[in-house]
Chain A
Amino acid sequence: MDFEMVPLTHYLFLSATLFVIGVTGVLVKRNAIVVFMSIEIMLNAVNISLIAFDRYMNLHDGQVFSFMVMCVAAAEVSVGLAIIISLFRNKPTTNLDEFNIMKS
């Protein structure tokens, strides 16, 4: 099993690319559900680089942290989708531009 290992930089490139795609989604999309999905992409991108550094340093701390990131993602999605549902009751749309009731 003399696999040649993937260099750390490759994982970091992949992580950066996915993170930037997530940022673009948050900036460009106006549908609340798709914005949530883009946030999920960003969280996953961070997990890649956590685990890549983990393997590079031969530790396990990064895996524990990515476990915590998954917990936060699950909590965020459940609360966020509940907020979307209760917003949808007031106004039947998920377009974020429609929700400006907090604007004075």
Chain B
Amino acid sequence: MELLIFYPLAGLCVLFALGVVVSNSPINSAISLIGMMLGLAGIFVLQQAHFIAILQIIIYAGAIMVLFMFVIMLLNLKGKGEDEKWQSRDKNILLNVLGGLLATGVLYKIIDIINAGDFNSPAMPPESFGTVREVGTILFTEFVLPFEVASILLLVAMIGAVVLAKSKVD
């Protein structure tokens, strides 16, 4: 029954991820990425990680993708010579084919390794698995130091972004 939900969601995620890589215009890539994020939120719900699914939608599809869209619109690369501006390097086809071959080889190897592992069917997790209460309890007891360090990381990133993007007029 779960598989019936899993396969369409997983297929959708993979298709949208391919769309990010394949499409030529960055706006299309960004919209595909939003689709992939929403599909992944569905997968997280299927894994009963409700808190992470909500965070996925709020942080990724909400904040990060808005930032991406904002920068794409701000840079406004659609002006003159759109074709040459968005074009990849000259030997594009060769590079694409080589990259695709490499990726397929790596994927084949990883799937080989996963298949070699012996994973029996997991036990049914308890009802409270993945709720905000459970995740929050462990976040504020066992992982309270990494949590505070993450807040410092975000502060540093904020200051760094302001300093980097500040105009050089002053």
Contact = CB atoms under 8 A, between A and B. Distances in A.
Contacts of B146: 64, 68
A3 B60 CA distance: 29
Which residue, of B126, B134, B160, has the highest number of chain A Cβ atoms within 10 A? Answer: B160
Given A64-B139, A97-B89, A78 B2 contact: no
B125 A17 contact: no
B164 A79 contact: yes
Q: A interface, by DSSP: helix, strand, loop or mixed?
A: helix
Contacts, number: 233
A14 B14 contact: yes
Interface string B99-129: 1101110110011001101010111111001
Interface string A89-104: 1000111010000000
A36 to B, nearest CB: 7
A89 B75 CA distance: 10
A45 to B, nearest CB: 9
Q: B interface, by DSSP: helix, strand, loop or mixed?
A: helix
A64 B14 CA distance: 25
Q: Number of contact residues on A: which range applies?
A: 35 or more
Contacts of B26: 31, 33-34, 37
Contacts of A18: 13-14, 17, 36
Contacts of A63: 49, 51-52, 130, 135
Contact of B52 (A4, A14, A58, A67): A67
A63 to B, nearest CB: 5
Contact of A7 (B102, B121, B161): B121
Interface string A1-37: 0011111111111101111111111011111011011
Contacts of A95: 85-88
Contact of A38 (B20, B56, B74): B20
Sort A-B residue pairs by CB-CB distance and give the 8 closest, nearest first: A75-B157, A82-B164, A82-B165, A82-B161, A24-B103, A25-B21, A28-B99, A30-B88
8 contacts: A17-B17, A21-B17, A47-B44, A51-B49, A55-B47, A73-B64, A78-B158, A82-B165
Given A9-B115, A67-B139, A74-B59, 11 more contacts: A3-B2, A9-B114, A30-B89, A34-B26, A37-B30, A47-B52, A58-B125, A73-B64, A77-B67, A78-B67, A95-B86
